[in-house]
Amino acid sequence: MCGIVGYIGSQQAYPILIEGLKRLEYRGYDSAGVALQNGKIHVYKKRGKVVELENFVGDAGVNATVGMGHTRWATHGEPSDLNSHPHSSRSGKFALIHNGIIENYAVLKEKLSRHGYTFESATDTEVLVQLIDFFSNEGAHNAEEAVRLALHEVVGAYGIVVMASDEPDQLIVARKGSPIVLGIGEGEYIVASDAAPIIAYTKDVIYLEEEGMAILRKDGYEIKTIGNIPRTPLLERIEMELETIEKGGYDYFMLKEIMEQPRSIAESIRGRVNKDNGVVWLGGLVDVQDRLRNARRVIFVACGTSWHAGLVAEYLFEDFARIPVEVEYASEFRYRNPIIYPDDVVIAISQSGETADTLAAIQLAKEAGALVMGVVNVVGSSIARGTEAGVYIHAGPEIGVASTKAFTSQVTVLTLMAVYIAQLRGTATPEMRSAMKELLNVPALVEKILESNDYIHSIAEEFRDATNFLYLGRGLNFPVALEGALKLKEISYIHAEGYPAAEMKHGPIALIDANMPVMFIATKDESYDKIVSNLQEVVTRGGRVIAVVSEGDTNIRDLAEFVIEVPQTNPLLTPLLTVIPQQLLSYHIAMMRGCDVDQPRNLAKSVTVE
Ligand code: M6R
C-alpha cells in the first residue's frame, strides 16, 4: 500500500517520477505528491489520482535531477492535500515519503511536541520527518545519521526515501517490513516500491534487505544496515518486459488480465508436467522432498482471493496427497497462538508476496520450526525471499486491483503441488496422471469460455442494478462462489455473499425473492444432483437464477433464467473454468455502473499494512 519512487541522476526527475507514480498507482490512489530538489526542496501534492497532481503541477517546470514521489493509500489521516506525501519538517530541511505505518507515532509526537514541534497533518509520517529534524538539531553529523537515529526510535513498518536540502545530491532510503527495490542504471538510480517504475531504465536491481539502508548519490551508492554496518549489494537482473505492465490495447488492466488467462495458465504449467505420462516436476520443491514426504499436515495462510485458492487446494491436497490440510486467514492465524508442529508445512499463497499479515504468519511458522513455503507471483518479493522453498505461479504482473489471472495460476500451481506431493508420498494414481494431462488442455478450454464474453455482457445488462447477489457452489466450486462474490463486491460495490449451496437452507434461503439474483456454479460432478435440488428450491421461491453449467447440460437450462456453459473437463479442474464467467460478469456489471474496475474505491493492490 502506497507507492514510493525516487530518482537521482542526470535526467529531469519530474517526468520520471510521474511515470513511475502511474505505474505504482495500483498500490494506492488517495493522493499523490512529488518533491524536487534544486538547491531547495519543492513539494507539490494533491488529493486524488496522479493525474490530479499532474494538472496541479502544470508547467511549474522545476529544473531538478533529484526527486521523489508518492502515491498514497490513506491509513492515518483522511485523503487530503495536507495529509499527502511528501511531508516536510518544520525547518523545511527534510522531506520524506513513506510506505508503512509508524505504530508509536503518538508517543513520538508527544515527545516532539514537548520540544516545540507542531504538526500540520494527521499522519504518522509527518512525525517521522520531524523526528529526523529533531535529531539533526540535536547534533547528528549529517542527514544520514539523523535518519538512522530517528529510525531507532520507530516501532512499525516503513519503506522511506528522505531528501535533505543542505545535502542536495543524495537520496536516503531505508526499509523495515515494506519493500524497496533499487534500480542501478548508468550514472542514475531509481528507487521504488516495486520494479514497475524501474524497468524502463534498467533491469539491474538490488532488493534492499530487511532493516537495510541505501545512500544514493549521483556518483555512486552505499548499501548498509540501519545499524550502519556496510553490506555487499547483491545485484540481480529482473526478467520483466515493459509490455507486461502496459494495457496492450485494452482500456482496463482487469479485462486484459482476464483475457490473458489462457497464456498465464499455460505459463504456470510450462515445464512442470510430462505430457506423455502426466508426471509432475517442481524444481522449487526438490530440496524439501523429504520434509514433504514426512509432513504431518499442511497449513495454507493467505488473504482474499489467495485464501480462496487455498480452499480449492484443501480439497486437492487431501484428495491427492492424503494429507490433512487447514486453510487459515493469515490475519487470524498470526494472532491466535496457533499450534504449529516442526513437521508441519506452512504454505503462504500470495500474488504480491508482500501482504503484511501473510508475512507475519510465515514468520510465526518459521519460529515454530515448520517448513515454510511460498506460492507467489512477484519474483523477488518478500514472501518469495523469506520462504525456504516454493513455486512461482508465473502469471506475469497483475495490475488490476481485483485479482483474476493470479487466482487461476495459483489454483493451477496448487493442483500441480498436490500431485507432486502425492507422487512423493506414494498416493498418486493413474487418474491423477490423466488429470494432469487434461490440465495441459485447460488453457484452450479457458479460451473457449472467453468467447462467451458478449453473452455474459448481456446477462450483466439484466443485473446491473441489483443491490444484492448470492453465489452458491459445492465442493471445489464453493471457493469459486466465494471468489465470484468477492469479485462482484470489490469492483461493483454490490453486496454479494458466497455460500456452500447446501448451507442455503440453514439461513440464506430467507433472502430469496424476485430481487435476489443467485449465481449457481453447478457443473457435472458427484454433488450435481444435490445442487440441482438447491437450484430448484431457489426457483420455487422466485429467485432469479444464473447458472454456470457443464456444456450440454439441458436439465438446468430448463430451470435457470440464464445458463453459461463451460466445457467438460476432469471435475477436479473445474474451478479453473467456472471462475472465468464470474470474473467477466463482475467486470461488465461494474463497468455498466460506472465503477473504476482497476482502482476500486478504498482498495489497494498489495496490503502491506496490518
Ligand atoms: O497479494 P496477495 O495475494 O497476498 O493479496 C491478497 C488479497 O489482498 C487480494 O487477493 C485481494 O483480496 C484482492 N483485491 C482480491 O481481488
Q: Write b or e for each residue in 30-56: b if 16 or more Cβ atoms lie within 10 A of its Cβ, otherwise e.
A: bbbbbbbbeeebbbbbbbbbbeebbeb
Determine the pLDDT at residue 60. Answer: 75
Determine the pLDDT at residue 605. Answer: 83
Nearest CA to 302 out of 311, 294, 292, 290 is that of 311
Cβ atoms 100, 32 nearer than 8 A = no
Hey, what's the torsion of the CAs at 580, 531, 325, 362, to 10 degrees? 40
Determine the pLDDT at residue 284. Answer: 95
Determine the pLDDT at residue 309. Answer: 98
Instruction: Supply the residue whose CA is at minimum distance from atom 4 of ligand 1.
Output: 350
Q: Identify the helix (H) or strand (E) that includes residue 262.
A: helix 261-269
The DSSP bridge pattern shows strands 325-329 and 297-302 to be: parallel
pLDDT tens digits, 210-221: 999 999 999 999
Helices (H), 426-546: 430-439, 442-450, 453-463, 477-492, 528-540
Q: What is the largest CA-CA distance in the chain?
A: 81
Distances (CA, A) of 44 to 33, 55, 56, 363: 5, 11, 8, 38
Residue where the block lists cell 433472502? 511
Which domains does the chain possess?
3-242 (3.60.20.10), 252-440 (3.40.50.10490), 450-595 (3.40.50.10490)
- DSSP SS3 for 2: coil
Determine the pLDDT at residue 75. Answer: 84
Kindly list the protein residues whose Cβ atom lies closer than 6 A to any atom of ligand 1: 303-306, 350-352, 355, 358, 401-403, 486, 490, 603, 606-607
Q: In ligand 1, which atom is closest to the CA atom of 606?
A: 1
β-pair partners for 224: 213, 230
pTM of the model: 0.90
- Ligand 1 center to residue 222 CA distance, Å? 34
Nearest CA to 71 out of 14, 4, 171, 162 is that of 4
Confidence of residue 604 (pLDDT cuts 50, 70, 90): confident
CA distance 70 to 608: 15
Region 377-388: mean pLDDT is 93
Vertex 80 angle, CA 78 and 84, to 5°: 100
Cβ atoms 122, 79 nearer than 8 A = no
Region 250-277: mean pLDDT is 97
- DSSP SS3 for 347: strand
- DSSP SS3 for 445: helix
Determine the pLDDT at residue 74. Answer: 87
Nearest CA to 124 out of 53, 193, 72, 191 is that of 72
Determine the pLDDT at residue 223. Answer: 97
**pLDDT, mean over the chain:** 95
CA distance 150 to 430: 61
Vertex 159 angle, CA 155 and 164, to 5°: 100
Nearest CA to 590 out of 511, 509, 489, 480 is that of 489
> In the structure grid, which three cell numbers stand for residue 519, read together?
449465481
pLDDT tens digits, 177-198: 899 999 999 999 999 999 999 9
- 1 has pLDDT over 80: no
- Ligand 1 center to residue 536 CA distance, Å? 34
Region 60-75: mean pLDDT is 90
Active site residues: 2, 605
| HSE-CB for 168 with a 13 A CA cutoff | 10
pLDDT tens digits, 77-102: 899 999 999 999 999 999 999 999 99
pLDDT tens digits, 403-440: 999 999 999 999 999 999 999 999 999 999 999 999 99
Determine the pLDDT at residue 241. Answer: 83
Residue where the block lists cell 466445457? 567
CB atoms within 10 A of CB 366: 16
- 322 has pLDDT over 90: yes
Nearest CA to 377 out of 534, 194, 230, 153 is that of 194
- Ligand 1 center to residue 606 CA distance, Å? 7
Instruction: Supply the residue whose CA is at minimum distance from atom 8 of ligand 1.
Output: 304
